[in-house]
Structure 1
Amino acid sequence: MIIMTEGLHALAGPAMRRALKTFTRSPYSGAATGAVCTAILQSSSATTVAAVGFVGAGLISFSGALGIIFGANIGTTITGWLVVLLGFKLKLGTLILPVIFLGAILKLFARKHLASLGLSMAGFGLIFVGITMMQQGMAGVENLLTPAQFPPDNFTGRLKLVALGILITVITQSSSAGVAAALTALYAGAVNFNQAAALVIGMDVGTTITALMATIGTSGGARRTGWAHVVYNLLTAIAALLLLTPYTWAWQYFAPGQLQVNGEIALVAFHTFFNGTGVLLVLPFSEHFARLMMKIVPDVSSPYTRQLETSLLSDPSIAVNAVFSSSQLQLIDLIIHIKRLLAQNLDASMSDLAALQTALAKTRSFVDRIHLEQTNQAEWSKLLAMIHFLDHLHRLHHRCDEEVFQVKSLVSLQQLANIRPDVLQHLESLVVHLQHERWHQAHQLARDLRLQLTEQLGPVRNKIMTDIALGKITVPRATEYMEALRWLQRITNHLARSVYHCREFSAQE
């Protein structure tokens, strides 16, 4: 399983990650995407850990990640079907050896995608060799290991077997491998159907440990995602325990004797059944579940930098996206800050400036720790766009340090009375475009604002100079006005450049 998963990650991992980011518009699409990605990658842990990372980076919302987690539980059942239909029914253990040989050759002598394909092929083949070996091993101990040696088939006994299933998955870090072992034990008669089913239920719970470990030291959103996986799988496990007896009754009623003859198929079907039922029941209540998890795992970190987790630095691509998400929020709030200043709402404007400045310092420090190879042109271009964006964001912060003095001068300047409302309207529209990530429209608007002010402020400057000559204002007062006009011009210039680099960043997605 490890070999195949590593090969599939190298071969299809980036595409799957893009799919997870793209197709999570709703919990329903997230569930479908999570199921497909898990079926392809053959690892629910890989899918859920990726979801935790995406939430931590701010690439997808918490509710979108919930759909991925729900769907991953369905996708992970595919391994059981492969084992039963190809391993037990077709007995591919010997026939698959040439596939393993070809995969090894590709891994040793091919490059890039072909080498990854070879590793996947070798891992895929080894699964069936392993199934054959487990069957052969079980054949020698059928008299030593029997259902009677496991906990009895009552509620307490089933709970003990669930605990054993959790332990097996925690140790192996693969619920799929554990399910294959349970299927082999059932096939050999070492356990009966109900005992094997209880083990599989426990293995489903045990697989949450990997996602939970991925949340250590992360943001509240990432921790919430990991714990949501745990809570959901616990609820599914409870439902599965309650459904186990009715499920066996249904088999005995509709297909008498088949539970013993085709117990492996019945077990895999039960695994798919309770996971599928859990997803169908929880999806309509995703929003309620999300609110519950927000109460259970609150996020008290700064909204500006909660995405900047040290764990993301291991994947520079996600780390760069996390910086962009954080910086985008800072830019929006800084524009709102400037808008309040120009609207003379000074008390409301002062509250977040210190937090914004602290967040910018932390963001720039985080970027210093991102190490990206120049070979990936798209990611390299995104990093450069991000560095330019942060530079103009820093200058924008710096200009806002002069805010109160400059704004008072602007407000008192009569020649700007007709211009200021239009500037405020432009800033309001700019915020809306940025919030909805309409980068092209936002850049067009910011550029138009800069060009418009350049044209409008020229006559204002000439009027100030004329007033000095006529003795209507003093030179020091005129200097204050001119500095205020320069402040406004620089603000709009840095806004236009910031949004331009935002657009360039998004163009590389």
Structure 2
Amino acid sequence: MMDDILLSVGGVGLFILGIRMLTNGLRSLAGGMLRRFLARFTTNAASGAVTGALLTAVIQSSGATTITTVGLVGAGILSFNQALGVILGANIGTTVTGWIIAAVGFKLQLGTVAMPLLLLGVLTSMFAPGRWARAGDALTGFSLLFIGIDAMQRGMAAFEGLVTPETFPADSLSGRLELVAVGIAITLITHSSSAGVATALAALSVGTINLPQAATMVIGMNVGTTFSAALATIGGSAAVRRTGFAHVIFNVMTGVIAFGLLDLFAKLALPRVQVPGDAQFALVAFHTVFNVLGVVLVLPFAGAFSRLMAVLVPDHLPSLTGMLDRRLLADGEAAADAAAACARLLVAEIEHHVAWRLRPASSPGGGGLVRLRLAKEELTDYVAAMPNSGWNRKRVSALLHVLDHMERLLRRCEDDERLAIVPHDRRLARLARVFAGVIATSASLDEGGRSVRFTRLEAMIRAMEERYRIDVIGHAAPVPATMREIATRLDAMRWLHRSANHLSRIHQHLVDAADRPTPPAGSVAGV
């Protein structure tokens, strides 16, 4: 008996490990394609539901879909209303696992067949190069999936006749609530609703539980996934917390709907269960139907639902770095999205500070610089912790370039002597006004457009710099005081030139960090 219990528990473990390896392998194979797929095809909540369902069905992980979505929200690529559709669709996508198990896992008994596939997957993962190794990880996970199902089924078969549907709570309101609690507990222990559904299917296949009991437990499993998601959002950014709570509210709501449909489901399904395997298909159909029904009911009110989340989870973000959620570091693309969004916000603040310092009546602003420096250091630490391999290497490199130019620009903002002379020189003052004007008028442009603007500004200042140097030196009197003033004026011109260069380079690198195409130069208005 103990051997059978251990076999069943080990089967659950193998199934969970298989799901994790399959998901990680498929995500590694896809690289940045998943993120680009979501960003390209999610235009509203309805399209988000479709993309969320498809993506989750492919990578077999609603958590991975959610993390990618949160990163896109933080980067400003998706609105929360669009992301809400993705989150809802991910719930539908998770039901695909149940269909695969019911159609293949129990019908074809692939546990033994998967053994040589497991060896092939492990050897490929160990010895094959590049993408083949990641394909080996996915194949290993796929094999473990069916080996785990086979182990669960063989372990539970020993309880046939010992544990029967009569062993579980009676078919009453309180009994059903107890079964929902059992389903929640299973999901909390396994941290995987797919593993819970697989367990219910295995128990159903050997007659340990009946179809209505399995359906009730699956409702609990669907609700149980939200508890770990909600706990994971504590202390997170507003986007992460809103996502977690939206997931909780939606799954609880669909659970209530499904609970109310149990009698109707039993009435429709039980007469149609004629041959072995029908009950498993009926169970996964019920799981799919109540999730689809929940999405269909919520989608028309997605806008109101997202506004409700904004009220329930307000964004108290005076901080420049509030989107740098450490939870996103588990996904390199999502972390890069958050870091790029933070960098854009920080650069905008630095530009405002530069424009303010170029005003004639400005004074040194140490407090503002301290705030900007602290935010920059926090962003630096976050980028240093990001995964720096594969598809993410280019984006991390771009962010490091941005941080380097930020640091040099912040140091220039501390150069009070050079800035103080600008209002007292007609040509420097005119250039300062142009510089501040470019900052103001570029605010509505994307990174590519800003890069073009600041590149043109830099070229204009560079063209004027040599003529300015010749004129200033040529009209100077050879006395020490005048020579010091000449040096300061020339340094101020170099300050304008190099500051424009830093901003041009920052926005060029932000294009790479954001992983968006650069607009053609001709589409951007001139300086």
TM range (shorter): 0.7 to 0.9
CA distance in 2: counterparts of 1:10 and 1:141, whole angstroms? 34
CA distance in 1: counterparts of 2:35 and 2:26, whole angstroms? 14
Aligned pairs for 1:284-303 within 5 A: 284-300=300-316, 303=319
TM-aligned CA deviation for residue 79 of structure 1: 1.6
Aligned pairs for 1:380-395 within 5 A: 380-395=393-408
Cα deviation, 1:25-77, whole Å, max 9, x if unaligned, reads: 43334332322222122233343355456657877654444333212111111
TM-aligned CA deviation for residue 202 of structure 1: 0.7
CA distance in 2: counterparts of 1:85 and 1:97, whole angstroms? 17
CA distance in 2: counterparts of 1:17 and 1:228, whole angstroms? 27
- 1:7–1:331: structure 2 CA closer, same or farther, 3 Å change rule? same
Q: Which of the residues 453, 475, 492 maps onto 1:445?
A: 453
> Aligned residue for 1:13?
27
TM-aligned CA deviation for residue 272 of structure 1: 0.7
- 1:387–1:494: structure 2 CA closer, same or farther, 3 Å change rule? same
> Aligned residue for 2:241?
223
CA distance in 2: counterparts of 1:67 and 1:420, whole angstroms? 47
TM-aligned CA deviation for residue 322 of structure 1: 3.8
CA distance in 2: counterparts of 1:216 and 1:59, whole angstroms? 24
The answer as to whether partners of 2:111 and 2:149 remain within 8 angstroms in 1 is no
Cα deviation, 1:354-388, whole Å, max 9, x if unaligned, reads: 42222112223444445746xx4x64444333322
- 1:55–1:481: structure 2 CA closer, same or farther, 3 Å change rule? same
> Aligned residue for 1:280?
296
Aligned pairs for 1:241-320 within 5 A: 241-249=259-267, 251=268, 257-258=271-272, 262-300=278-316, 303-313=319-329, 318-320=334-336
Q: Which of the residues 75, 79, 82 maps onto 2:100?
A: 82
CA distance in 2: counterparts of 1:507 and 1:40, whole angstroms? 23
Once the two structures are aligned, what percentage of the paired residues are identical?
38
> Aligned residue for 2:188?
170
CA distance in 2: counterparts of 1:311 and 1:493, whole angstroms? 35
> Aligned residue for 2:122?
107
Q: Which of the residues 358, 378, 394 maps onto 1:362?
A: 378
- 1:115–1:451: structure 2 CA closer, same or farther, 3 Å change rule? closer
TM-aligned CA deviation for residue 242 of structure 1: 2.5
Query: After alignment, is 462-471 or 152-161 more displaced?
Result: 462-471
> Aligned residue for 1:200?
218
- 1:474–1:118: structure 2 CA closer, same or farther, 3 Å change rule? closer
CA distance in 1: counterparts of 2:103 and 2:378, whole angstroms? 53
In structure 1, the gaps of 5 or more residues are none
CA distance in 2: counterparts of 1:120 and 1:419, whole angstroms? 59
- 1:505–1:340: structure 2 CA closer, same or farther, 3 Å change rule? same
Query: After alignment, is 359-368 or 120-129 more displaced?
Result: 120-129
Query: After alignment, is 458-467 or 492-501 more displaced?
Result: 458-467
| 1:498 is the counterpart of 2:514 | no
TM-aligned CA deviation for residue 270 of structure 1: 1.4
The answer as to whether partners of 1:162 and 1:198 remain within 8 angstroms in 2 is yes
CA distance in 1: counterparts of 2:63 and 2:378, whole angstroms? 31
> Aligned residue for 1:211?
229
SS in 2 for 1:305: coil
Please give the root-mean-square deviation of Cα atoms over the aligned residues, in Å: 3.7
Aligned pairs for 1:363-442 within 5 A: 363-369=379-385, 372=388, 376=390, 379-402=392-415, 409-415=421-427, 419-433=431-445, 436-437=446-447, 439=448, 441-442=449-450
Q: Which of the residues 83, 105, 113 maps onto 1:98?
A: 113
Letter in 1 for 2:507: V
SS in 2 for 1:92: coil
SS in 2 for 1:431: coil
SS in 1 for 2:113: helix
SS in 2 for 1:267: helix
Query: After alignment, is 488-497 or 307-316 more displaced?
Result: 307-316
The answer as to whether partners of 1:57 and 1:319 remain within 8 angstroms in 2 is no
TM-aligned CA deviation for residue 165 of structure 1: 0.3
Cα deviation, 1:285-336, whole Å, max 9, x if unaligned, reads: 3333233223323344554222334445555665455433322221122223
CA distance in 2: counterparts of 1:248 and 1:314, whole angstroms? 42
Query: After alignment, is 456-465 or 386-395 more displaced?
Result: 456-465
In structure 2, the gaps of 5 or more residues are 1-14, 518-527
SS in 2 for 1:432: coil
CA distance in 2: counterparts of 1:263 and 1:172, whole angstroms? 24
The number of residue pairs the alignment matches comes to 493
The answer as to whether partners of 1:164 and 1:199 remain within 8 angstroms in 2 is yes
